[in-house]
Structure 1
Amino acid sequence: MKFVFLSFLIMCPFFGIAQQPNDCVNAIVICGNGSFSSNASGAGVQEVSGCSSEEHNSIWIRVDIVQSGTLGFDLIPENTDLSVDYDFWVYGPNEDCSSLTTPIRCSTTNPIAAGQTNNHTGIGDAAMETFEGPGEDGDSYVEWMNVLDGESYYIVIDRPVGNGGFEINWTGTVSEGTGAFPEPPVANLIADIEECSDTGSANFNLGNLRSSINPDLSENVVNFYETLANATDNLNPLADTYTSSQTIKTIYAKVTSNLTQCTNVTEFNLIINQIENVSIAVSENPICAPKEVEVLFSGSENAIVEYQINGGSTQEIQLDAAGSAEVDQFINSTTDITVINTYVEDIDGSIICSASQNESISVTIAGISVGDNLIDFYECDGNKDGKVVYHLTSNDSIALSNVGSGYQVNYYTSQDEAEHRNNPIITPASFENTTSLPQEIWVRVEDASFTDCYAISSFQLDAYTDAPPSFEVKRSNLNFEEQHSITISNVTGIGTYEFSINGEDWKQPDETNTLTLTVEGGGQFVVTGRHTEGCGSSFKTTTFIDYPRFFTPNQDGIHDTWNIKGFQQQNADAKILIFTRFGKLLKSLSPSSRGWDGSYHGKQMPSNDYWFLVEYVEQLPDGTTINKSFKSNFTLKR
């Protein structure tokens, strides 16, 4: 006995099917062992009626007989509920879909109405009728069919109640031996097809696979599909060249017999093996003397890299799971390292993907050098003893600027010691000169792991004892006020400077080289700038002559007299002369006097502007004096 299993959307890897199965002209051809699959949703065109019924959710099947004998079947619904009622009728032999005659077998019995214990139906050897139904008429089975080799029959599976899947068991003598139906064409299993890619996509030649799937292409047609559903229904066959961007893509190959229209489907995978181009890097290049360098290869994980040294024999190295590998290579002359190929193996050691490469790197030998523009130190010797502490490490980054990582710096007091690495300076961050100044210091830059690779250079240490600052002083708030500002700017010199007014509260300029200080009242002020380490100082003087802009001599006790302010102590001998606008002298007085009361020889002067001249002596901190004068005007108000 042979079996066939029918269900909507059945999808099995190996089966025999025909065209899209909705109606007679697209009937499913039963081949080989009788199994088949369909994506049909039933019914289609209601082409026929008969057997006291008409089509309901029907599926058409065609059987081509290749062995004479009796033919029957058991049709068993997937749903065992007795209310699920499946019927069938048979046309043939050798009927044409366009001119179907009366069915030769028919069963439309209702299992509940007929008192059946199950909802099976079919053709069997115990039945005597060729027709039965509808309703309670019959027992759901009709008589055997006697069939001959070469005949064709159409079987209509009708589902008036229920539309689920069903199973067919083929019976009768034709199912014995080689079977009742023609064998499906060969659809050989083939190995998965693999391609390499460094972009994530690859082209596959499906056309070249046809002869491997079926060797008789004169009698059979092979087409390819992306899904089993498409293969089943002959939808969207693929071109011979197929582009995939999936790591694994399943393809379905369908073989169709030109003679019997029987088909067979097999499947295989298209596999893209991602293989990256290999890159090379070295731990150091150039090197300054023969030594080992690390060569780093990067590419696809677990790939094997073939490379050559100076065009010599091919060597191999396998990358790790991170796609990298290192090898130590001794370099004693210019050396070319070239990657020529990379490949990936399976667990059996077979190459599954390879790609030619042309990546190379040249490692050269070239002497190193100490960085340019080393600092020559020029520091303050404030106590003038010829001993100065220098921060030699300020030259570290400059000395290393011409080399990469892995190099170190040492300092020496002679060239010979630097050449032979003898007696390096132990505390270069705070080194006190060991000879009279100037002193030459030597710096040695060397490979920390290979000290024969080195370069030396030198710089000078020197000192100064007197470097006073140069600076400018600008006054503000010049009018008669309680406070005045003195701004120190354009400070130049050697080293760091600080400033004060009259030797008090020393302060350093800000990042703009500017400092503003505040003074109280008028008079002479000395601005002193000095080297913070004791190497010299300089000073400037500035005078604020404060005076009232007006006075009101009306005997009310407020602003009754006029005089300058701030000269009482520093310039008590200063002479103050008051004039009319026409130059007539009205009064001569001193800073310490009561001031002018607005009269001339006992007579009150009228409201007006009056001029004054101050003649005074400015005394510098070094003891020298300068005669100075100041002229301005004020207002008398009455």
Structure 2
Amino acid sequence: MAGPQEDILHSNDKVFMTKKYTLLLLLLIFQASFAQSDCADAIVVCGNSGFSGLTVTGIGTQELGTGITCGSSENNSIWIRLDIATSGTLGFTLVPESNDINEDFDFFIFGPNVSCGNLGPVKRCSTTNPFAAQQGDNHTGLNATETDVSEGPGEAGNSFLSMLDVIAGESYFLVVDRPVGTSNFSINWTGTGGFNDPPIFDLPSGTTTLDIGKCDDDNIDDRITEFNLEQNTPLIIGNQSNVTVTYYTTQNDAFVGTNAIANTGNFLNTQNPQTIYTRIENNTTHCFANAEFKITLSIVFPFKESVTCDSTEIDNDDTNGQAVFDLEKVTQDVFAGIAYDNLNISYYLNQDDADHDRNPLPRFFHNTVPDVQTIIIKASNGDCSDTVAIRLIVNPLPQKITGHYFQCDSGEHPDGLTTFELHRADGVFTTANPGIEVEYFGSMSDVQNNLPLPAFFDNTVNPQAVIVRQTNPDTQCISYATLMLHGGTDDAQPDIVLNNCDVYGQENGFTTFNLDDSHIALTGGQMLAYYNTPQDAVIQQHAITNTTTFPNPVAYESFVYARIDDGGLNCSMIRRIRLVVNTLPDIEEQSDGNDFVCLNKPDEFITIDAAVRDPFFADYEYLWEYNSIPFHMNTYSVQVNHPGTYKVTVIKPTGCRKVRTVEVFPSSDATIDSVDIQDITFGTNTVTVNLTPDSIGQYVYSLDNPSGPFQDSNFFDNVASGIHTVYVKDVNGCGMVSRLIAVLGIPEYFTPNGDGVHDSWRIDGVDTVFNSDTNVLIFDRFGKFIKEIAKNDTGGWDGTFLGRPLPSDDYWYVLNLEDGRTIKGHFALRR
């Protein structure tokens, strides 16, 4: 199918629906000039119509009545008129450009032969929502397999209805509506019926163009003349009838059919060349086709000047506004972009010479008027000739300057050979020649081979001259200047040293420096900048910006470089600054908790110290304080006899410092409050030592042995009956206390046989000191009183009664303790 914008010779084939061509309806906003959203302005579908520039945006006037069987109305609609030329079936598939299932298109068909405002009942109606209906795609239309004529809204249906049987001569309205989405769409016609053919551009055989060319022969030098557009009308119509041809200045007007050119017989061009758009329309079917052609003035001078640069040719002076013009090149400039091979070209100093073809200028013309000279160009062909005044313009060259660039040499052995950042010198040349482009070359040979010097150039001699190519980008005029490179040398200068202490808690050799602490004195007009490397300082790149909080890049020792400039290209000096990160004192910051003073020994002192690991601790400074109150001691160690918090600030000769904290704890010997004794148990006797609350030391305990072993517990079990001594010692060295105790015990038997072992029976733990008021009454098994062991009687019973030995047997006792207890029991006498 040939569209309306295609070659006008390709529109003779009649196209039917059976060819399944596509009507593209592109969503370009055209609503203001073509109201296709209303019935009265419906698009007419013709055999080769391929419409574009249409939009489904807005509804114009709401024209769908309440009787729509699929329950909808216009949202964003296009009205299309279908005039049937060939009987058959009407079918189509509407395909949205977006395959998003949410893009929802509905359609309505009215007819046959109904009119706007009286559409009658709908013939086909589909408002199925493809997303709600869970369809595989969002296509809709009429096909040969469906049988229903209406479906929707929402999830009802499958978006396709049965085809319509159509008869030649009928007309229908197809309304396409998009309730959801923004997509463009296309329609593929699938039925067997056909539409009316549009008219064609029926050019005579051998005619390939409608373009019109003409001489500007109205004697007015404005490149405007009259064109008769109507000379193309019979060529366009050919043998067709009932058609109308109109002409337009815009493609849109030709497509819509509005704002047609009125004075087609004497149309004045507004530009040269100018495109004219034409439309041929069938007066009955209103089918149309479009084409375009150009109207052109035969001789056109698109440009009226030629430009060159001042030169030394002929006059050896490149500053006087004179140069040699090659008039063949001038011709190329005047006719730039336009063929002039069929023209005879000549040049003259004035119009009179041009009119009489007198005194033509030679090809190489040296202008006689400086800077700008007007001459006449004359062009002719077999039909036309024309002249126009043109200007020959001589542009000046950039001013030639000799500049000087002074650069510091910061090497260990300054020799004047250093690195120059050449483009730092650009300002020397652009100040006198604003806007020029500057390049640097080592020689004219390098210029000819376009081999510029690198941006960072190391001079090989001192001083050294380089060639400066100066180009004016507007005129492309070039001149050559000179830049002298001077490598300055400085006497050796000592490093400026900045010291900082390492960061406490980090201590990895990194901190920040205020580079301004270098206190480099500047004189009037001097400038100072800092750089990471000497190379950066020389070529002035990557200047350090955070000069007040600069982090040293290498642990413990780094270098930065200060550059002092007098301004311009004069480097005064580069100084190296050494950044030193000094270590903090190496100390034990916290004591081990083993420092005690004895409150019971106020005259005894202990020694605490700064715990410096450095063998050169004698060079350090020490500042002591006690419980946050300074006391005037500046020694490595101090003697103290008060508990509390001691701090010492340890200061290295570099001024770096760190604080050690020593906690001195109080201690004291113990005060025994009481001893709890569990005895006469006929089992396990226990002893518990109780101290007074003011016993604040750390204590260990021993029974009967002041040398130990000691135990942490104040509790003893399995204690034998008898007299014992308990010892309590302060492990912090504040002393030891003791107490005698008595653990009572009753023997279960005795053997008075004179062998010195168990020869008497008595209560253990009773003597003249302990339990001295205790007495014991002894009876035989029949209750006969035998013996009383009175208080202070430590000898016990020897097993006799009135001097006679009693026999082996069990004997009974009544024990009256001085604490008021009475205990009864028995024991055995064995012989």
For the aligned pair, the TM-score class normalised by the smaller chain equals 0.3 to 0.5
TM-score (norm 1): 0.43
Q: Which has the larger radius of gyration?
A: 2
Answer 1 or 2: which has greater strand percent. Answer: 1
- Larger relative contact order (C-alpha < 8 A, sep ≥ 6)? 1
